[in-house]
Structure 1
Amino acid sequence: MSASTSTNTRPIPIPRPSASVVIVNGRNEVLLVHRNPKARAFGGVHVFPGGNLDKKQDASLPVTAIRETFEESGLLLASSTEQSASYLPSDTELDEARHAIHQQKMLFQDFLTSHNLEADVQSLLPFTQWITPPYAPRRFHTQFYVAFLPEVAPTGFSSGEKQERIPKPDGGQEVVEARFVHPRKALAECQQGKITFMPPQYYILSTLVDILQGDVNTLEQRSRVETLSRGLFGRMVINPRPLHAGNTEGYTILTYEGDETRGGSKGRLHRALVKAEKGGITSEITLQRNFDVFSEIEPQALKEPSKL
């Protein structure tokens, strides 16, 4: 993410609707996919599975999140439509289908219907929206979700590590691997410079790490995440904006809704210190949030942006 502003000659791109899902397994590990370093957008970055809304494939943003997760990792969040059904697609059938869907040779819904499956859209908990700043050359309006594997019956990849190398229609590679990792380990790897996150992923992991304590997912932990999803936090639309604040030693200060500079009360910090490399890829992030996300979110944090 670059801190430079757009020029007057370049029109501001309209954000593309997209969706991403944070999948939590029974060991409190989250699914991360590693984007190809040569990818056009977010090359080399670790992200949650997700992508752009495809009107040919997706009836809704939750379906987008589920389809993209299937394409990128092989994990299928779907349930049988028949109570007595015992048949599930084999690993070979899953791999063939996800490649065909990714290459637009098969409709995701047709694949589900042919196996008496339906996407588990009800399992997805809204968990903030993020809009790429106006100065970025490619912009997205992304709805993030959280889903817990103990609450659904996943088919396919659901733990450990997996090499993916998904082919694009042009023969390129989009995702080079997928793995489940605990938020605390993922954040530690980021701080050590081993992996890279963009601000939304870092923000969401920093929120979840305080809840997903230990290596066994509990009902109480799921309940706390659901509380956030149903409350003001889950409805936040976050529009990062750079704060021009003198010498910041190479860091950009990105402010979020509800910061003291964005309508929040005096002393309220809702921002991140970000250092970016060439191409806008984040190399260092520090989240500054001095309020409780369960009880201290101010209403102005929910204001819809006047400009996208």
Structure 2
Amino acid sequence: MSSGAAVPLRDAATVLILRDGVAGLEVFMLRRNLNSDFVGGAYVFPGGAVDDHDRHHDLEPVCQGRSDADASRRLGIGGGGLAFWVAAIRESFEEAGVLLAYDDDGLVDLDRDETLERWQVHRTQVDAGQLTMVDLCRLEGLRLAVDGMHYFGHWITPEGAPRRYDTRFFLAAAPPNQTPLHDDREVIANTWIRPAEAIDRATTGELTMMPPTISSLKAIARFDTAADALAAATEITSVPTILPRVIAYEGGVRIVLPGDPAYDDPQGVPDASIDWMSVADSRQVTGFGAAEGT
């Protein structure tokens, strides 16, 4: 048994990229490398840890429509909030080739044949840590589209996990002139999928997903279009912080959320031997609200 106290908690950011498909709202998902140290093979949204470059001292000039004070207030922290938006944009560019940024003509076009190779080089450089997002913006005359990203979820990895993250979830519309493609390193496949279909396939075990992913899908599944989901996200005034507990009992394990009668059960203890991919939850908990069994 392990309390997980020795595992550091890292800040992280994730973005759900939305578009309107033939059958309605779709979200972009990636499959993590099967050899990943944590949740290998799981379907996720673009995202990852906030790194030192994301906390650059001069972020505001390259961020459109949101100050650090505004971002920090939105997240309920004392400062440095803008770094979470920047980290989500960086991870989306690295993992999916989607760059949420403006040039002088609007959302940047990455699909032009004459510039395709240059953007691929930039993506590789950002992924390798050779080019920061601030550097990229200065080089290409860009402004990061933080104004179009809406905060709607906050999950903290349970104690006992081999890695722990304090993760903020955002929604954003897919840029019209960009074609997402997984990096074939950290992530090995990608798909556009309707949220309800993703939930169904996770329920049957066809797709492996972690509880925050499923919860986020449930949150957006009620909307018919990307515009509807984004409009609702702009109305969110409070986002709950969700720190699940994974409880080991003689008969197995279960995940419990704040408010569950078993959450404060003194007999329940985190178990470092838990198969984290087998843990599932039926609740949707985000800034859109919480609902049992939805």
TM range (shorter): 0.7 to 0.9
CA distance in 1, matches of 2:107, 2:283: 49
Cα distance change on mapping 1:292 and 1:68 into 2, 3 Å: closer
Aligned to 1:231: 237
Contact 1:79 1:118 in 2 (8 A): yes
Higher relative contact order (CA 8 A, sep 6+): 2
Q: Which AA in structure 2 matches 1:157?
A: T
Aligned to 1:18: 12
Q: Which AA in structure 2 matches 1:120?
A: A
Cα distance change on mapping 1:202 and 1:85 into 2, 3 Å: closer
CA drift at 1:192: 2.4
Aligned to 2:258: 257
Matching of residue 6 in structure 1 with residue 16 in structure 2:
no
Aligned to 1:302: none
CA drift at 1:219: 4.2
Q: Deviations over 1:266-290 (max 9, x none)?
A: xxxxxxxxxx9x873424634046x
CA drift at 1:113: 1.7
Q: 1:148 aligns with which of 173, 185, 192?
A: 173
CA distance in 2, matches of 1:129, 1:194: 26
Aligned residues: 252
Contact 1:256 1:262 in 2 (8 A): yes
Q: Deviations over 1:63-122 (max 9, x none)?
A: 000000000000110011x36999867222221111111111222221222111111111
Q: Deviations over 1:132-167 (max 9, x none)?
A: 112112111111111123xxx455225xxx4531xx
Q: Which AA in structure 2 matches 1:239?
A: L
Matching of residue 285 in structure 1 with residue 289 in structure 2:
no
Query: Could you say which structure has the higher helix fraction?
Result: 2
Q: Which AA in structure 1 matches 2:6?
A: I
* 3-state SS in 1 of match to 2:161: coil
Q: Which blocks of at least 5 consecutive residues in structure 1 are unaligned? A: 166-172, 264-275, 298-308
Q: Which blocks of at least 5 consecutive residues in structure 2 are unaligned? A: 57-82, 265-270
Q: Which AA in structure 2 matches 1:164?
A: D
CA distance in 2, matches of 1:84, 1:186: 31
CA drift at 1:225: 3.4
What is the TM-score normalised by the length of structure 2?
0.75
Q: Which AA in structure 2 matches 1:12?
A: A
Contact 1:164 1:178 in 2 (8 A): no
CA distance in 2, matches of 1:85, 1:244: 48
Q: Which AA in structure 1 matches 2:121?
A: E
CA drift at 1:295: 6.9
CA distance in 1, matches of 2:159, 2:204: 30
* 3-state SS in 2 of match to 1:207: helix
